[in-house]
Amino acid sequence: MTVGALVDAGAEWPALDSALRSLNLNVSFHVEKTTRKGITASKFMVECDGQTSHRQLPQIEKIIEAGKISNGARENALAIFRRIADAEAKMHNVPIEKVHFHEIGAVDSICDIVGACVALDLLNISEISSSAINVGSGTIETSHGRLPVPAPATAELLNNAPIYSAGPQSELTTPTGAALLATLASNFGSMQPMRITSQGFGAGEKDFPSQANVLRVLVGERTDAAQSTSVNILEANIDDSTPQILGYAMERLLDEGALDVTLTPVFMKKNRPATMISVLSAPEFTEQLASTLFAETSTLGVRILRAERRVLARDTVEVETSYGRVRIKYTENGTFAPEFDDCRRAAAQNGVPLREVIAEANQTFRRLGIDNS
């Protein structure tokens, strides 16, 4: 489905076909147009005459390394297979080099992964973002017997990624698709700010009665629009911890990846003064931060709220002051600020008040004349 969607979005088929043929797998490929619930999509077909070879990682690596594909596509394909091997090794408690890939080792799966990496390279894609992932539900039949959806390897590969289950009782995300996203996507959640240049739809094998079985990709260029990202807010009201404990908990939460942590005085039942600790988290860090809250505070419960966060696109430049180099963050609307840690370090090293370092950093940035408006 990924290959079909990328070809549909503009990846040059002759170049992709040539790259896949260079793998020397003795199979043929073609892309055909089809429809799923009224949506026209491209379906990538691998005709492999029933080959179901069970390969190990070193064999697959040799096939990919021998192919006439770009270095970037080769590195990505190898990284994806190694990611799958890590997950399978963990699931079966065997060394990574002993993993038998079964379905993943079949030639069509090799073509799926290499084809996706080559197609991304043909489209000059430099960054990949993914929505939350619909994994499906029910059970599937595999070489290991009947397994629940998501399959254990899929769940392992999508650890820390936002997933959900909706629609038909079927496997909607395979280990191959999970590995592609887990390896190549830089973020998950709301769409990143972009100017769309093309879109493509890749068709799946099944034709569900209730929804279109297609994968959509949007190709575009980054813009300076405010970024909209999905975040979770973790909250807990605490009336029996000391300020020292709460201060330490804040430090731990920030070290564990929290985007922000605030402490707010509140009154609880029975008129008890208390503190509400609020943690802003990317979805993939929510479980870890919840565990840290339970470990470092006395709370017995944590509220988790879904929210959308909007931030301005920003850049960073270094300025040279008489106290040393200081980084300045600035946005397209004219806002800028020196990096506090740089200013604090410079003030301590030079034995001057912090406000003097901040003032000089601001003046130096203004003299640069950067057009950030």
Q: How far apart are CA 131 and CA 133, in angstroms?
A: 6
- Which of these, 186, 156, 234, 225, lies nearest to 76 by C-alpha position? 186
CB 31 within 8 A of CB 46: no
pLDDT digits (tens, 9 = 90+) for 311-363: 777 788 999 999 999 999 998 778 899 999 999 999 999 999 999 999 999 99
Quote the CA–CA distance of 357 and 321 in Å, as a whole number: 8
Q: CA 260, 238, 304: angle at the middle one, nearest 5?
A: 50
What is the distance between the alpha carbons of residues 84 and 291, in angstroms, rounded to a whole number? 27
For tokens 């929210």, the residue is: 307
- And the tokens for 321? 């002051």
Q: Give the pair of three-digit tokens for residue 275.
A: 């503190």
What is the rounded CA–CA span in Å between residue 87 and residue 96? 9
The span from the CA of 304 to the CA of 156, in Å, is 23
Residue 15: what are its φ and ψ, rounded to 5°? -65, -40
- Number of neighbouring beta carbons within 10 Å of residue 6: 27
- Round to whole Å and give the CA distance between 332 and 312: 8
Task: Give the C-alpha distances (Å, rounded to integers) separating 128 from 3, 86, 95, 123, 323.
Answer: 15, 22, 30, 12, 40
What sign results for the dihedral spanned by CA atoms 184, 187, 191, 197? Answer: negative
163-164 and 139-142 beta bridge pairing: unpaired
DSSP conformation letters of 108-137: HHHHHHHHHHHHHHHTT----EE--EE-B-
- Three-state SS for 267? strand
Per the DSSP assignment, residues forming a β-bridge with 141 are 146
| pTM assigned to the model | 0.65
pLDDT of the chain, 373 residues: tens digit per residue:
999 999 999 999 999 999 999 999 988 999 999 999 999 999 999 987 655 567 788 889 999 999 999 999 999 999 999 999 888 888 878 877 766 665 555 788 899 999 999 999 999 999 999 998 999 999 988 777 888 999 998 999 998 888 999 999 999 999 999 999 999 998 887 777 788 999 999 999 999 999 999 999 999 998 766 566 778 999 999 999 999 999 999 999 999 999 999 999 999 988 899 999 999 998 888 999 999 999 999 999 999 998 887 777 778 899 999 999 999 999 877 889 999 999 999 999 999 999 999 999 999 999 888 765 5
Residues spanned by CATH 3.30.70.1380 within the chain? 228-311
Name the E strands within 182-271. 187-188, 194-203, 214-222, 227-238, 260-268
Instruction: Quote the CA–CA distance of 319 and 369 in Å, as a whole number.
Output: 12
- Could you tell me which CATH number the domain at 228-311 has? 3.30.70.1380
